[in-house]
Amino acid sequence: MPARKRSSLTKTSKHAKRMRLARSQESTEERESRLNRMRDRAAEARARESSADRELRLSADRQRHSLSRSSETFTERDIRLTADRERHVLSRESETYPQYQDRLTADRERHALSRESETYTQYQDRLTADRERHALSRESETYTQYQGRLTADRERHALSRSLESDENRLRRLEAARENYDLRVQNNIDNLSNERQRINDIRSLETNEQCEVRLSGDRFRHNIDRVLCSSDQDL
């Protein structure tokens, strides 16, 4: 009777156990060296991949992360976020200034490329998810955590700006001005659209409806003035 072959699942499980044991015994220097080698290999592999390969990889990553996070409990989520923060802090404390600049540049390029290819629906979904994630995170933080987050934000911004070149500073200021101008223009457009909507509604109302609306406005304004006078007398 031929010998039964071991399943690939058993081999993979044993290999994973050996890897976990080896990593639990490595020193800080060995761990950092391993992580650097992994980053270098990943960077080389990604530099060779085509646009289609990159999109497939990112899509698979998003699906895997989404599936994993949809099934995690609140406690598991909190543990994951805490571990992520600690890992990022440890990694960034040991990085050199060129590595810091390279990381920021890579982040900006990755975000720009990702956002250029997203549809309007994906853009709205991303903003909504960001707002919900930030709101959930900030609702559960203590006052000490709130103060720590603000302090960390200020320190990070101060460090980033103290290290940026004149060219990067001008680019940041220009982007800030463009964002401000865009927000102002959006507000103007919204107000214009609202005025047009109101004018369209009023152009369709009858004389009787117009008189009822004006009477309601006068009544409301009179109430507001009486309340203001009462407050001033007090």
CA distance 129 to 133: 6
Kindly tell me if the per-residue pLDDT of 202 is higher than 80.
yes
CA distance 80 to 66: 14
Three-state SS letters, 142-209 = CHHHHHHHHHHHHHHHHHHHHHCCHHHHHHHHHHHHHHHHHHHHHHHHHHHHHHHHHHHHHHHCCHHH
pTM (predicted TM-score): 0.35
Picking from 6-10, 54-58, 109-113, 152-156, which range would have the lowest pLDDT averaged per residue? 6-10
pLDDT digits (tens, 9 = 90+) for 88-116: 888 888 888 888 888 888 888 888 888 88
| pLDDT band, residue 30 (cuts 50/70/90) | confident
Per-residue pLDDT at 89: 85
Kindly tell me if the per-residue pLDDT of 195 is higher than 90.
yes
Kindly tell me if the per-residue pLDDT of 231 is higher than 80.
no
Average pLDDT over residues 6-22: 71
Q: Which of 44, 36, 45 is nearest to 91 (CA)?
A: 36
Q: Which of 136, 147, 138, 134 is nearest to 74 (CA)?
A: 136
CA distance 162 to 165: 8
Average pLDDT over residues 140-153: 90
Residue extents of the structural domains in the chain: 165-207
